[in-house]
Amino acid sequence: MRSSIWHPFTQHGLAEPTPLVTHAEGAALYTADGRRIIDAISSWWVNTHGHCHPRIMAAIAEQATRLDQIIFAGWTHEPAEQLARGLLEIMPAPLAYAFFSDSGSTSVEVALKMALGFWLNRGEPRQRIVVMESSYHGDTIGAMSVGARGIFNQAYAPLLFDVATVPFPTAGSEQVTLDALEHFCTHEDKPAAFIVEPLVLGAGGMRIYAPWVLAAMRAICAAHGVLFIADEVMTGWGRTGTLLACEQAEIVPDILCLSKGLTGGAIPLAVTLATEPIYEAHFSTDRSRQFFHSSSYTANPIACAAANANLAIWREEPVLERIARLTRLQGEKLSGLQGVANARQIGTITALEIEAPEGDYLSALGPRLLAFFRERDLLLRPLGNTVYVMPPYCIGEEDLAAIYTAIGEAIDAMRG
């Protein structure tokens, strides 16, 4: 019988199998037909400490008996208050205010609206947003607008607003990017903000650039009074080797977007952190200057409880040591592969290209690779001909070995 479910990023007309997952633990998923699947991409980059982490599951269960949901407009609850305090303790100053939402896409929408509201309420409205080539910031209308134009959003082009785009800072050509950003920041039509994925583009192909470039881009924005938005939805919570990717460039954004690993990947939640001036621009006795954004489930108490458990894990357990170990192991496994193009790594993320006639998202190699890895009990989801590995921090060496053995076999098989 055909399922009534319409799955994301899935062409159901291809009739590819859809495994039924019954439970999960650590770095593994278990299916109804008795298979153990290694989760090599943290279930779309969200799961950090491993599936069904006991501390996070216990926090969810305990909170579910106390308060499940409450409107957050004009009301509050202790899990959210505790979470805001905990986040601001570990996030860099001058980030001072936390606005909760539901997903990475909405955290970006919030950031964009904060930036536009900031300038409007100061009496100098600006509408222009500057973005980086090949970036991806989500699938809501605003988030798509600041992402790369292409197959992801071509059907929705009439809905998207125009942006200014700087080129990706390819090694050796970084000054081209910096000059383009400088040009836009000094243009007569001055931008409201520049939004960027720090150090690595996710859906844009796991493209990596140097921390000094991120620092230089931040300095250009600061020098010209343009707000700097860091989208750390993917890169945050240790993925690049540090709590935030911005740490490696020694910068602090005006607005910071976090989601995915915020709850350890257990339940949806996002936060947009802002500096004092952003908040103060909306602070008034005039109700028309309030921040007009919310959703029904803003700061859901159960999700906040999960996030508080995640913060406790970061405070009380050797998470950075686990990340360092995984970074080292990933590097060793990657260096052992032969016949790959553009092998690269940043923290716990590795990526490589398998040669193909077309290398975009719709590369014919993509479905073949998906099937190849699925048949070997691996959850790997290549971006076209780009294969990447981003596992939970708890993954064992045996599972890592299985992942890279399969990648090596895929390289040989796809050549044949």
Per-residue model confidence as pLDDT tens digits over 64-107: 999 999 999 999 999 999 999 999 999 999 999 999 999 999 99
Asked if the model's pLDDT at residue 186 lies above 90, the reply is yes
Q: Locate CATH 3.90.1150.10 in the chain.
A: 12-52+319-415
Identify the CA nearest to 151 among candidates 383, 390, 387: 383
Identify the CA nearest to 361 among candidates 153, 66, 90, 111: 153
Percent of the chain with pLDDT over 90: 90
Q: What is the pLDDT of residue 355?
A: 81
- In tens, the pLDDT along 146-182 reads 999 988 889 999 999 999 999 999 999 999 999 999 9
Asked if the model's pLDDT at residue 359 lies above 70, the reply is no
**Type of residue at 133:** E
- In tens, the pLDDT along 312-343 reads 999 999 999 999 999 999 999 999 998 888 99
Q: What is the pLDDT of residue 338?
A: 87
Tell me the C-alpha to C-alpha distance, in Å, between residue 230 and each of 16, 37, 176, 234, 252.
36, 33, 20, 11, 9
Beta strand ranges found along 67-206 (DSSP E): 95-101, 129-132, 164-166, 193-196, 200-201
What is d(CA 100, CA 302) in angstroms, rounded to the nearest whole number?
Answer: 13
Q: Is the peptide bond before 318 cis (omega within 30 degrees of 0)?
A: no
Asked if the model's pLDDT at residue 361 lies above 80, the reply is no
Q: Which CATH class is domain 12-52+319-415?
A: alpha beta
Backbone angles phi, psi at 37, to 5 degrees: -105, 125
Identify the CA nearest to 268 among candidates 100, 72, 49, 36: 100
Q: Which residue has the higher pLDDT, 195 or 367?
A: 195
pLDDT bucket at 415, cuts 50 / 70 / 90: confident
What is d(CA 19, CA 10) in angstroms, rounded to the nearest whole number?
Answer: 13
Strand order in the sheet with 129-132: 95-101, 270-275, 255-258, 227-231, 193-196, 129-132, 164-166
Q: Locate CATH 3.40.640.10 in the chain.
A: 56-316
Asked if the model's pLDDT at residue 232 lies above 90, the reply is yes
Tell me the C-alpha to C-alpha distance, in Å, between residue 54 and each of 74, 197, 309, 324, 408.
33, 31, 10, 22, 34
What is d(CA 47, CA 42) in angstroms, rounded to the nearest whole number?
Answer: 5
Kindly state the average pLDDT of the residues 387-411.
97
Q: Which residue has the higher pLDDT, 9 or 23?
A: 23
Q: Which CATH architecture has domain 56-316?
A: 3-Layer(aba) Sandwich (3.40)
What is d(CA 29, CA 388) in angstroms, rounded to the nearest whole number?
Answer: 19
The residue written with tokens 């955290």 in the block is 107
Q: What is the pLDDT of residue 365?
A: 86
Percent of the chain with pLDDT over 70: 99
- Beta bridge pairs of residue 23: 30
Window from 4-13, 42-51, 77-86 with minimum mean pLDDT: 4-13
Q: What is the pLDDT of residue 416?
A: 62
Asked if the model's pLDDT at residue 357 lies above 70, the reply is no
Q: Per-residue DSSP letters for 241-271?
A: SSSSTHHHHT---SEEEE-GGGGTTSS--EE
Q: What is the pLDDT of residue 293?
A: 93
Asked if the model's pLDDT at residue 310 lies above 90, the reply is yes
Computed over every residue of the chain, the mean pLDDT equals: 95
